[in-house]
Amino acid sequence: MAKAETPTQRKLAKLGLRSTQDFILHLPLRYQDETSLTPIGSLRPGREAQAEGRVVQSEVQLRPRRQLVATLADDTGRLGLRFLNFYPSQHAQLAVGQQVRVLGEPRGGLFGLEMIHPRVTRAGTELPDTLTPVYPTTQGLPQPTLRRLIGEALAVADLAETLPEAMRARLALPTFAEAIRTLHQPPAGVAQGELLEHHHPAWQRIKFDELLAQQLSLAEARARRRAQRALPLPAQPGEGLAARLLAALPFALTPAQRRVVAEIGGDLGQHHPMQRLLQGDVGSGKTVVAALAAAQAIDHGVQVALMAPTEILAEQHWHKLRGWLQPLGVELSWLSGSLGVRARREALAAIAEGRAQLVVGTQALIQDTVQFHRLGLAISDEQHRFGVGQRLALRQKSGDPGLAVHQLMMSATPIPRTLAMTVFADLDVSTIDELPPGRSPVITKLASDARRDEIMARIRQAVRDGRQAYWVCPLVEESEALQLQTAVDTYDVLRQALPDVRVGLVHGKLPSADKAAVMQAFQAGELDLLVATTVIEVGVDVPNATLMVIEHAERFGLAQLHQLRGRVGRGSHQSACVLLYQSPLSMLAKERLRCLHETQDGFVIAQRDLELRGPGEFLGVRQSGTELLRFADLEGDSAIVERARECATELREYHPDAVAAHLERWARGREDFLRA
Ligand code: ADP
Ligand code: MG
């Protein structure tokens, strides 16, 4: 029979406290030291302490408000006590002549040290030999209740060791039982600072356990994925479609591209679904790698979908892939939200009947109405723009419930190492770590807004030299309408200031057909200067563009600026990026701009970005459950992450019982996010 919840139980549930395990893992925020007494003369302001003495004075004052004021004395000095709210019993407890013990934080008052609302108990009782824990709690749930319940849980809990003794000794960590007892009931004289800072070995053990559980769960998720079946799509030696595409390309692959093509090609040949992240800095040539993977899959009679987060980016892919693959006889379809009714119906039919071998589009691809005939490979570009759910949706569209789809995710934003080892540990990663030959690094200049005239001259010069330029309008976060207005104004101003220059404007609110027309004209060299909002942030590829001006660069994030800058330096001509800023700059903005000025390495920038912003914003991590780490911190505890990872591998290989016990303790009810 289920009993009704009491109010206390409801409050406990609010703190996530239900099972015995929940209680023992509810760890103190801090401690009170009741293990010793401090002579009154040795009390220091701001340092919580316990003292005993005789009440030598006690009165209820009425001004400026009703309060109980008393004085406590011992041989070494006097201490004021003040209570703004009090019960008659407290008044009696503090009658002159009483011997009492007080616990509180002394402050400097008008007449020497005083404690406001100290805890008062009888003097002379036995001192505990452990510190008193102070737990995170909620309204109406007092510390003594929590302490009692947690104490009871500790008495009955299973604190059995989950790590093999040899491993624990090697890691120099306390046992789980020792760690838990130390954290709830630290012995007098423990290094309190280490406890508070979470550096104490007991804390290290808890963080290690949590990260180990995360690593073990991720490894299980990976094993589950390997147990799924997918259609093997091995590379066709010799005369395959991929080989023909390779032969038709106007350039040779870089060694890095060849390496990742081989990695992806190997995965596609497996009986379980590929889940690979292809990372490479902007301009490193990921698109052709995707095209080669698509070609390898199409050779086996399956369909391939390529999804990009914005219409402009999807369209670029569409043109590029069509240019490469149509001549080889591949049927392509285009699908985006802005497609007309008839065109959409036709595209959907081609996809459902399997006539479309390669489908390129936006998120429209994952809608329910899109039925694939036989989807074998799903590619998503700039994958961090998509949520986990959106990626999963494509994975399940194979058209055969027994078969999972191979997945290739591309990103120009590299995953910092700690995230790669944790949240993204389930992905295999391929990295293109060199740019195609003949690229010269982009010169990055910082310029105050006051120097606009010089910038205009630079644009004129670039155009005279036959080059093209981008002008990125400031981000206006508060209002999309304002952002649009700014873009239109900038366009007008630039057109007037540069009468010999052919200026175009592209922004998010432009109908897709117009957007496409402007991009096309810029690509074809019919426009010299493209004024744009951040719609050009990702993937736009016009090698003849050599100058980029970013207005109000201080308003953009690091990764965004890096992406924007990546639009230039794509051809063999020297390129430049001018970051216009408005003074004065905030510290953070200064840091960002300096970092960008100093390096062009996407990995360094991503690492810096992570430090400046924290991991929460990274690659859609929010949806993937880092918040489920309660004790460890991916950045601060990266050394522990590394150890946990090694130990997870070892445990899975040699100690399956320990794996089960450890996950039982730590991962219960937390597995959801790992299915992604
Ligand atoms: P990103 O990795 O940023 O998506 P792209 O795939 O758009 O980069 O490639 C950038 C440009 O470099 C494109 O014009 C592409 O055709 C070209 N490219 C790709 N690989 C090579 C190569 N091996 N040699 C020369 N140019 C290449
Ligand atoms: Mg790209």
Summarised one tens digit per residue, pLDDT across range 520-561 is 899 999 999 999 987 665 557 788 999 999 999 988 888 788
247-251, 326-330, 385-389: the lowest-pLDDT one: 385-389
Indicate the residue type of 10.
R
Going from the N-terminus, what domains does the chain have, and what CATH number goes with each? 7-30+132-197 (no CATH), 36-122 (2.40.50.140), 241-432 (3.40.50.300), 443-599 (3.40.50.300)
283: closest CA among 569, 544, 597?
569
DSSP assignment of 615-641: GGGGGGGGGGTGGG-SS--TTTTHHHH
d(CA 266, CA 275): 12
Closest ligand (CA of 320): 1
Residues above pLDDT 90, as percent of the chain? 54
How much is the pLDDT for 68? 93
Letter string b/e over residues 109-137, b meaning 16 or more CB atoms within 10 A of that residue's CB:
eeeebbbeebebeebeeeeeebbbbebeb
Q: Whose CA is nearest to atom 15 of ligand 1?
A: 285
Identify the weakest region by mean pLDDT among 284-298, 422-436, 500-514.
422-436
CA atoms within 13 A on the CB side of 349: 6
Name which of 655, 658, 613 is nearest 635 in CA terms: 613
List pLDDT tens digits, range 220-242: 878 887 888 999 999 987 789 99
Rg over CA atoms, the chain: 33
Average pLDDT on 568-582 reads: 89
Whole-model pTM? 0.68
Q: Among 278, 281, 284, 320, which residue has the most ligand 1 atoms within 8 Å of its CB, making it the best to mutate? A: 284
Ligand 2 centre and the CA of 667: distance in Å? Answer: 37
d(CA 406, CA 523): 33
Give the Cα separation of 50 and 38 in Å (integer): 6
Mutate-to-test residue for ligand 1 from 249, 287, 544, highest number of ligand atoms within 8 A of CB: 287
567: number of Cβ within 10 Å: 25
pLDDT of residue 301: 95
571 lines ligand 1 (CB under 6 A): no
Assess whether the C-beta atom of 523 lies below 6 angstroms from ligand 1: no
List CB contacts of 589: < 8 A, sequence separation 6 or more.
554, 581
Residues 195, 567: Cα–Cα separation, whole Å = 49
Closest Cα to atom 26 of ligand 1: 436
Determine which of 78-92, 204-218, 661-675 has the lowest per-residue pLDDT on average.
Answer: 661-675
List pLDDT tens digits, range 214-225: 889 888 878 887
